[in-house]
Amino acid sequence: MDFRDRVFLSVAENLSFSKAAEEMFISQPAVTKHIKELESRLKSTLFERKGNRIYLTKAGKLNYEYLKKIKHQYEELEFELGRLNDTFKGTLRIGASSTISQYVIPEALASFYKKYPKIDLHLLSGNSYEIQQKLINEQIDIALIEGSSSMQELQYSDFMPDEIVVVTGSNSVYSKRKQIAISDLANIPLVLRERGSGTLEVIKKSLLENKVDFEDLNIVIHLGSTEAIKNFLTDFNGAALVSEKSISKEVELKQIVKINVPKLKIDRKFRIALRKGNPTYSAQLFINFLNAHNF
């Protein structure tokens, strides 16, 4: 692809000249120059400014849609040529929910890179809703998400099990209680993940099945990551519900204590999401690798 086209795609996806400059490793004036040259070549204005923000014009949106397809075709061509030479070249853009990106996928990505070093890997993190939106908008090739909700534009498959557990900090008054009843969750101060996260969605569904109204919980705060929740527990007389995959280190160091809640078992599956239709070859290669990987 022409370098100016790549600069345009970066500006269009970030809606920011400064972020595009950082992403493309060039100066902001250079980004502006490339966009002006492209607009001159196409005889169209591609961006318009409203206040401090920029937006794609109709011509910009049209150019973006076509260039995205062309970029994907180049990536597929590169990968297919790599297959012919047994080098597997290409690009793979992975989006993963926070829990998966922090605690599940890094080691698998390292193993994948070791096996296919010429595939250019990119990992984006966010909550499950955000990651699925990026997949629909073709900003990523594959999404690894939590939760059971589905979007009509996507297709899903499971790739590994997980469990949400009740935990508290080792200094909390609740750390001495080895067991609580489900009904106790309505009284204990709680810190939970933010709205839109797959973890929160699974918690809500499971509590409803156990006839516990989510709105009756004593939620002190919603935080945007599991790491933030774990740090919050350090000096918090309350509890949290988090992925068991995220606390193995802290439990071993006795910084966090698991609390048993009989009759409350919050099982879930981590899932792969793809746009409907055939996935890219690099995405399918990664799916096959995940399904065979020993987590």
233 Cα distance to chain centroid: 24
Residue 157 lies in a domain: no
Residue 22 lies in a domain: yes
Residue 60 lies in a domain: yes
144-168 pLDDT per residue, tens: 998 777 898 999 999 999 999 999 9
- Range with the lowest mean pLDDT among 33-47, 85-99, 127-141, 248-262? 85-99
Residue 43 lies in a domain: yes
Residue 178 lies in a domain: yes
Please determine, for residue 190, whether its predicted confidence score (pLDDT) is greater than 90. yes
222-275 pLDDT per residue, tens: 998 899 999 999 999 999 999 999 999 999 999 999 999 998 889 989 999 999
Q: Residue 72: pLDDT band by 50, 70, 90 thresholds?
A: confident
Q: How high does pLDDT run on average in the chain?
A: 90
Please determine, for residue 43, whether its predicted confidence score (pLDDT) is greater than 90. yes
Percent of the chain scoring above 90 in pLDDT: 57
Please determine, for residue 119, whether its predicted confidence score (pLDDT) is greater than 70. yes
The pLDDT of residue 123: 95
Q: Residue 87: pLDDT band by 50, 70, 90 thresholds?
A: low
What's the CATH number where 38 sits? Answer: 1.10.10.10
Strands 190-193 and 239-243: parallel
The pLDDT of residue 51: 87
Cα 186 to Cα 5, 15, 211, 219, 256: the distances in Å are 55, 43, 11, 9, 21
Residue 89 lies in a domain: no
The range of the structural domain enclosing residue 56 comes to: 1-65
Domain tally for the chain? Answer: 2
Look up residue 202 and give its two tokens.
């699974």
Please determine, for residue 120, whether its predicted confidence score (pLDDT) is greater than 70. yes
The pLDDT of residue 278: 78
Domain final residue, candidates 50, 65, 80: 65
What's the CATH number where 230 sits? Answer: 3.40.190.290
Please determine, for residue 105, whether its predicted confidence score (pLDDT) is greater than 90. yes
Residue 139 lies in a domain: no
Domain final residue, candidates 65, 80, 100: 65
The pLDDT of residue 165: 94
Domain final residue, candidates 18, 49, 65: 65
Residue 273 lies in a domain: no
